[in-house]
Chains A and B, each alone.
Chain A
Amino acid sequence: MSAGVGVDLENLWIRFGDFVAVRDANVNINGGDFFSFLGPSGCGKTTILRAVSGFLDPSEGRVLIGGNDMRGIGPNKRPTALIFQNLALFPLMKVWENITFSMEIKGASASQRRKRADELLDMIALPGQGDKLPSELSGGQRQRVAIARALCAEPDVLLLDEPLSALDLKLRQHMRTELREIQQRVGITFIYITHDQGEALTMSDNIAVMRAGVIDQIADGKTIYNDPNTAFAASFVGENNVFRGKIKQVMGNEAMIATNRSGDLVARISTANQGKLQEGDDAMLFIRPEAFSIAADGATGDHFVTARVTHEEFEGNVYNIFTEGEGGKEIKVSLPNLGQSFEDHTGQNITLEYETRNAVLVPAGELAAE
C-alpha cells in the first residue's frame, strides 16, 4: 500500500506554558499504514493528533503530510479528517447531512450528496438509515456514521481519537475488526490514538508507545510485546512480572541479573539495549505470566524461581496462580487451559521455570501505573 500519503513528525515539541506535552517526537508513518499511538491518558498522544490535524501549532519542529510542511495551514485546509473521541456528530443534522457535510461546504447539490451518502451508508452497513438523527442511532451505528463522515471528505490521512472508548466490550471488539477492514479497503493512512493495548495490537501495522510526552518505542505489535525497549513499554503493553536488580554479568545478547529478591536469573537483553547494558547497571527483568511453567520440585538454577502460592483463580482460557516469591515479591503465572487437570497449590511452595528467550532485560525505569 505505498499509494497512501505518509506523515512525518520531525523534532516535534509542544508546550502549554511551562508544561511540555510532547517532547522531541520523531515519527515516520508510511502511507497506507494503520499506525497507533498507545499510552496512558495525559501522555500527549491526543496533543500529537491535534497537531497533525491542525488544531494547534507545534512549539518547535515540523509536521509533514505527504512530504509537505503543514505549518500555517489550518485544519480546514489539511488533507486529514479527524474522528473525535465523542464523535462530534452534528446533532441537528440528519445522518445523510452529517455524512456529506464536507460536500455541502464545497457546494455540492443535494442530489449528489444524497447519492454519495447512500453509497457510504451501504459501505458502513447502515443502508436506508440516512433520514434518522444521530440521537436516534445506537452507539455502534453512530461510530460508523462518524467514520463515513470522515471518509466522505476523501482525506489522505484519517485520524482517530480513541473512537471506541465509549462502546461496550463486545461492540469494541467487533469494531476493531471492522475498522481494520475499512482501512484495508480504502487504503489510506490511519492514525489511531488509544490507551487500550488490545486495540493497538490487533489493528496496527506499527505502534508508538508514549509516556509523559516521550515516545519510548516505535515498532510493530509483536516486537513491542516481545521485545520492549523500556520498562514502561514492557509494563504498559500486556501483563508482566518485573524483577529489579543489577546486571551481574553480560554474555553477548544475554545477561545474568542479580535480582533483589529472587536470586540470580538469566535473561535476554532487549534488542535496543544490546551493547548498552553494562555490568553493574540497574536493570529490570520482565517475564510474562504465560512464559512460566511449573517445574519439578527442588529444581534450581538461573531460570528457576521458587514461590509460595497465595491464591489461584480460573479465568476460563487460563488458570491464574498468584504466588509470593522471596521477600514478598508477587508473581503471577497464567497456565493455558488445554483440558489438563489442575491441582490446587494454595499454601504450597512451587518452582517456576522460564525459557531465557522469554525473559527480557531493560534498563531500570519508570513503570506504567496499574
Chain B
Amino acid sequence: MNNSFLRVSIWVYLVIFFLYLLGPLVIMSVTAFNSSAFPRMTPWECLTFQWFGELFQDQRILNGIKNSLIIGAGTVVLSVAMGLAGALMLTQIWPKLRATYYTIIIAPILIPGVVLGISTLVFWDRINRMLGLGADSVLSNGIFLTVIGQSTFIASYCMLVLVARLQRYDVALTEAALDLGATHAQAFRKILLPFMRPAIASAAVLAFLASFENYNTTTFTFGEYPTLTIELAQKVRYGITPAISALAFIIVALTVFFALLNEAKLKRQELVAAARKKATVEELAGKIKLPSFFAGNMAAVLLVVFAVATITVVGTATAYNPGQCIANVKEQKRLEAEQRIQELRKQREEQRKKREAEEAQQGGAQQSAPKPSNNSGFGNVFAPNTLGGDTEEESSEPETPPSNNGGFGGAFDPNSLQTDQ
C-alpha cells in the first residue's frame, strides 16, 4: 500500500511539474488565437489569426529576426570552431596546466551574462581607441561585438558537448590515417571530423539557440543591430500584445517539430542499424530491406500527426474569417455597455424622479443611490470605473462577456455567441 501510494504521488508530482513547465507555453500559445487585444485565455472572445498577420507586418520584429539570424550564424561558426579547438586542446594539454585551463574555459558559463556583455564592450572599446579607430569601425559594430560576446560563453557549452564525444575518439584512428599516407589536414577532415559530426551538429544547434535567445549579454553589445530578443524585450516591457504570443506560438511549434524530427531520425537510425545487423551479405551489397519509416517509430507517427495539424491550422487560417465573430463581440460589448448606460440613466432618472417626488412630498433629501446591479460575476471587480465610460471595448479593462462563452465549447463555434444572444 505504501508502495502504491508513493507511485501515485510521484505521478501526481510529475503532472504538477510538467504543468508548471509546459502550462505557461500552452497558455501563451493559445492566447495568440484570441481576438482580445490583451493576451489572455479567458475570457475567450473569438478565434482569430489576425495577430499573425500583425506580427509579419511588424518591421522591427522582422528586422530583429534578420539580425538574430546573422548574429546566430556568426556565433555558431565562431563558437563551434573555438569549442572544438578548446576540446582538442583539453585532451592533449600538458597535465600540469590542465586544471587551470579547464577552469578558464568553463568560467564563462558561470560568469553572469551582463558581466560578459560589459567586459566585451569595455575591452573592444579600448582596443578600438588604442588603434585610433572611429566610433563606426568594425570593432564597435553591434554585430561584431554581439558575436564576440555571445561566443565567449557559448563556446564553453560547445566545448562541453564536443569533449564528451572526443573522449570516445580513439587517437589511433588519426594515427592510422597518417600511417596510410594522409596529411594531418586530411586525417582531420576525413576521420576526426566525420566522427565528431553528430556532436558538431548538436553543438551548432545549441549555439544557435543560445545565441538566438540570449538577452543579458546582447543587451550591452547590440548597438545599431537589435536582435529579435532585444526587440521582444522592448515590446514586453512597454506594453504587451498577442502578436508576441503569435511569435511564441510559431517558435514553440517549430521547436516541437524539430524535436520530433530529431527523435524520429534517431529512432530510424537505430532501426536501420538493427536491420543491417540482420541482413545477409548479398542484401548488404545490393538492396537492403529497410523497415518502413513508421514501423516501431512513435516519434515519426507523432511528427506526421503534428505536420497534418499544422497544415490544417494554416488552411483554416487562410479560409477562416473571424470578422463576423469579432463584430458580434464588439456589438455585444457595445450593447452591454449601452445597456449599462441605459440602466444607469434609468436609475438616475428614477432617482431623480424619486428625489423630486420625495422632495415634493417630504422636502427632505435622501442622497444615497442604490448601486446598479448590472454585472454578473467579477465584472464589478475588474471594471469598477467603466460604468458610464465610453463604448470602446478594446481597452485592457475587460468587459466581461456572458459567462457561457468563457469556455472552449463556445469559443470554437463563433455562431453560438449569436444564437445565445
Chain A residues near B186: list those with CB within 8 A.
105
- Known A-B contacts A86-B172, A88-B172, A131-B284; the reply to A81 vs B179 at CB < 8 A is yes
Given known A105-B182, A106-B181, contact A84–B284 (CB-CB < 8 A): no
Q: Contacting A149 at CB < 8 Å: which of B170, B180, B281?
A: B180
B175 at the interface (CB under 8 A from A): yes
What per-residue 1/0 map shows which CB atoms of B155-173 lie under 8 Å from chain A? 0000000000000001011
Stretch at the interface among A72-80, A197-205, A260-268, A297-305: A72-80
In the complex the two chains form, is A132's CB within 8 Å of B191's CB?
A: no
Q: Which residue of A lies closest to B286 (CB)?
A: A131
How many residues of chain A get a CB closer than 8 Å to chain B's CBs? 32
Task: Decide if B277 touches A75 in the complex (CB within 8 Å).
Answer: no
A93-142 residues with Cβ-Cβ distance < 8 A to B are 101-102, 104-106, 128-133, 136
Partner of B175, one of A88, A129, A130: A88
> What are the residues of chain A within 8 A of B276 when measuring CB–CB?
133, 136
Other-chain residue from A74, A81, A90 in contact with B173 (beta carbon distance below 8 A): A90
Beta-carbon contact of A153 and B181 below 8 Å: yes
Quick one: which of A84, A88, A102 has the most chain B CB within 10 A?
A88
What does the 1/0 interface line of A136-180 toward B look like (CB < 8 Å)? 100000000000011001000000000000000000000000000
Q: Confirm or deny: A43 has a beta carbon within 8 angstroms of a beta carbon on chain B.
A: no
Instruction: Give 1 or 0 for each of B174-209: 1 = CB within 8 Å of chain A CB.
Output: 011111111100100011001100000000000000
Tell me how far the C-beta of A78 lies from the nearest C-beta in chain B, rounded to whole angstroms.
8
Q: A130-B285, A136-B276 are in contact. Are A92 and B179 (CB under 8 A)?
A: no
Question: Chain A, 42-54, contact with B by CB distance < 8 Å: what is the 0/1 string?
Answer: 0000000000011
State whether the Cβ of A55 lies closer than 8 Å to any Cβ in chain B.
yes
- Size band of the B side of the interface? 20 to 34
Distance of B273 from chain A, by nearest CB (Å): 9
- Of B172, B194, B282, which one neighbours A92 at CB under 8 angstroms? B194
Q: A193 in the interface, Cβ–Cβ < 8 Å?
A: no
A84-B175, A130-B285 known; A153 vs B195 contact (CB < 8 Å): no
Partner of B180, one of A86, A91, A101, A136: A101
Query: Does A283 sit within 8 A of B, measured CB to CB?
Result: no
In the complex the two chains form, is B285's CB within 8 Å of A136's CB? no
CA distance A314 to B178 in the complex (A): 51
A14 within 8 Å of B by Cβ? no
Assess the A80–B195 pair: CB atoms within 8 A.
Answer: no
By a beta-carbon cutoff of 8 Å, the part of chain B in contact with chain A is: 170, 172-173, 175-183, 186, 190-191, 194-195, 276-277, 281-282, 284-285
B391 CB to nearest chain A CB (Å): 70
Task: Give A132 to B288 CA distance when docked, in angstroms.
Answer: 11
Interface presence of A321 (CB below 8 A): no
Residues of B within 8 A of A105 (CB): 177, 180-182, 186
Contacts of B190 in A (CB 8 A): 101, 104
Per the 8 Å Cβ criterion, residues 239-264 of A in contact with B are none
A128, B176: Cβ atoms closer than 8 Å: no
What chain B residues lie within 8 Å of A90 (beta carbons)? 173, 176-177, 191
Interface residue A237 (Cβ < 8 Å from any Cβ of B): no
- How many interface contacts (CB-CB < 8 Å) are there between A and B? 70
* Chain A: minimal CB distance from B47 (Å): 50
Contact B178–A75 (Cβ < 8 Å): yes
A102 touches B194 (CB 8 A): no
Which residues of A sit under 8 angstroms from B282, Cβ to Cβ? 128
Closest B residue by C-beta to A129 = B281
- With A128-B285, A131-B285, A133-B276 as given contacts, are A88 and B180 in contact (CB-CB < 8 Å)? no
- Which residue of chain A has the shortest Cβ distance to B186 in the bound complex? A105
Residue of A nearest to B177 (CB): A101
Separation in Å of the A84 CB from the closest CB of chain B? 5
CA distance A44 to B250 in the complex (A): 63
Known: A86-B170, A105-B186, A133-B276. A76 touches B181 (CB 8 A): yes
- Least distance between B308 CB and chain A CB atoms (Å): 35
Can you list 13 residue pairs at the A/B interface with Cβ under 8 Å?
A55-B178, A80-B179, A82-B175, A88-B173, A88-B176, A90-B176, A91-B173, A92-B195, A105-B181, A132-B284, A136-B277, A150-B180, A153-B180
How far is B182's CA from A92's CA once the two chains are assembled, in angstroms?
17
Cα–Cα, bound, A74→B184 (Å):
10
Inside 8 A of B180's CB, which chain A residues have their CB? 76, 81, 101-102, 105, 149-150, 153
Chain B residues closer than 8 Å to A132, beta-carbon distance: 281, 284
A133 and B269 CA atoms in complex are apart in Å by 14
In angstroms, Cα B285 to Cα A350, docked, is: 67
Q: A131 CB to closest chain B CB, in angstroms?
A: 4
Residues of B within 8 Å of A53, CB to CB, are 179
Contact indicator B181/A84 (Cβ below 8 Å)? no
Please, how many angstroms separate the alpha-carbon atoms of A130 and B176 in the complex?
A: 19
Distance to closest chain B CB from A34 (angstroms): 20
A105 to B194 CA separation, bound complex (whole angstroms): 16
Q: Specify which chain A residues have a CB less than 8 angstroms from the CB of B194 in the assembled complex.
A: 92
